Amino acid sequence: MLETPAVLIDRERLGRNIAWAQALADRRGVALRPHVKTHKCLEIARLQLEGGAVGLTASKVDEAFVFLEAGVPSMTVAYPIVDERKLRRLLLAAQERTTDLRVVVDSREASQLLARVAAEMRMRVGVFVEIDVGLHRCGLNESDPELIDLAQWIRSAAPLQFTGLLSHAGHAYGAGDAEEVAAIAAEECRILQRVRAMLEGCGIEVAEVSVGATPTVLASEAYAGITEIRPGNYVFMDRTPVRLGLATFDQIGLTVLVTVVSRNAEYLITDAGSKVLTSDLGAHGTAGAGGYGVAFPIDEPVGGSAGLNVARLSEEHGFVDAIRGNIAIGTKLRVVPNHACPVVNLADELVVVSGDRAIDRWRVAARGKVR
């Protein structure tokens, strides 16, 4: 039996999830460019690329660098880069490996920096303008007067190639159900269609329109004008898409194996606290599930019975509701976390399992790459 806590990856479910997303992309006639921030793992990236993904998406420069060094043919960094040191590091890595590099901007400042550094390095860099479709994080609103001017400026800058539009409907994680997620996806599509028509009306060609967020990819029937999808969480799933009615427990590819180390009248105390499960209640700070995950005894299938709520966390301890009196100290539980992405970032390795056997261990190669 494995020492705990351990992050487990179900090899068969992982493979099915990768194949499902690729089949959806093929059926819709769009490219699949998965986001690596979910798994941060070279072995999983290779499976995605072998399955038909056109390239990968990363959040941060150093995260992208790990996959560039491994020879990924095409990479989008979906994060505004305004630090010249980071930008030079990224462009040099792509230049040395002749990687197809795309960068996201939402300001003149970031665009000018990119153009200057790319010119000095004699590189041609693809550029997406990010559009805010409702998350209100990064991106330009469709009515922003800067939008047309920015796209025109990028198109006229010799080292830059205006690639198109990019969005992230991350507010879908906070939806109440699948119907609401589908409505968010449809509105995202409509906003991008309007922006594309506006730019093309000004003579600015929009070659690509890229959307990303696992819930909207799971729920959406709106793909008009979309050329690319960038889901990340789909490889593992977690409690959030299950809560939204977009996935079932049978699709969960990542669980955290923990041990009950103590118990009292209220709680089973496990050996996985916030340093393992994170204190994240859900992507983008959403908190719809109540608690920090749901636990199942190791001898029961995940989702096969009523799960036990992980009600509280301290740094090294998890507090699981003790509503079942037959769970003894020493019992192993599998926890489905609310949000798989930060769980992976806290782990050194992923233990790959098939059935009840550990068959491999994969290093989290991009762990902690947050610059």
Q: What is the distance between the alpha carbons of residues 129 and 147, in angstroms, rounded to a whole number? A: 8
Number of domains in the chain: 2
Domain annotation covers residue 212: yes
Radius of gyration of the chain (CA): 21
Q: How much is the pLDDT for 289?
A: 65
| Domain end among 168, 201, 234 | 234
Give the number of C-alpha atoms closer than 13 A to the C-alpha of residue 332, restricted to the C-beta side: 17
Give the model's pLDDT for residue 286.
64
Q: What is residue 323's predicted lDDT score, i.e. its pLDDT?
A: 87
51/233 Cα distance (integer angstroms): 16
Does any domain span residue 243? Answer: no
Across the chain, which has 371 residues, the per-10-residue mean pLDDT values are 96 98 97 98 98 98 98 97 98 97 98 98 97 97 97 97 97 94 96 98 98 94 94 96 94 98 96 95 66 94 89 97 90 96 97 96 97 96
Same domain, 105 and 227: yes
Residue 69 lies in a domain: yes
- Answer yes or no: do 141 and 257 share one domain: no
Residues 6 or more apart whose Cβ sits within 8 Å of residue 13:
250, 251, 252, 253
CA distance 70 to 247: 32
Task: Output the DSSP codes for 284-330.
Answer: GG---SSSSEEEEETTS-TTSSPPEEEEEE-SS-EEEE---TT--TT
Q: Between the CA of residue 150 and those of 110, 153, 204, 289, what are the distances in Å?
A: 11, 5, 11, 40
- The CATH number that applies at residue 121 is 3.20.20.10
pLDDT digits 0-9 by tens, 73-117? 999 999 999 999 999 999 999 999 999 999 999 999 999 999 999
Q: What is the pLDDT of residue 285?
A: 62
Answer yes or no: is 239 within a domain: no
- The pLDDT of residue 287 is 60
Place of tokens 């740094």: 315
Whether residues 197 and 165 share a domain: the answer is yes
The whole-chain average pLDDT of the chain stands at 95
What pLDDT score does 305 carry? Answer: 75
Q: Cis before residue 159, ω within 30 degrees of 0?
A: no
- In a domain? residue 77: yes
Domain span at 340: 249-363
Rounded to whole angstroms, how far apart are CA atoms 87 and 110?
A: 10
Q: Alpha helices, DSSP H only, in the chain? A: 11-28, 42-50, 61-69, 84-96, 108-120, 146-156, 178-201, 214-219, 239-243, 274-277, 340-345
User: What is the strand order of the sheet 74-77 is part of?
Assistant: 31-32, 228-229, 208-212, 160-168, 125-130, 100-105, 74-77, 56-58
Q: Is residue 91 part of a domain?
A: yes
Phi, psi of 111 (to 5 degrees): -65, -40
Is 302 in the same domain as 356? yes
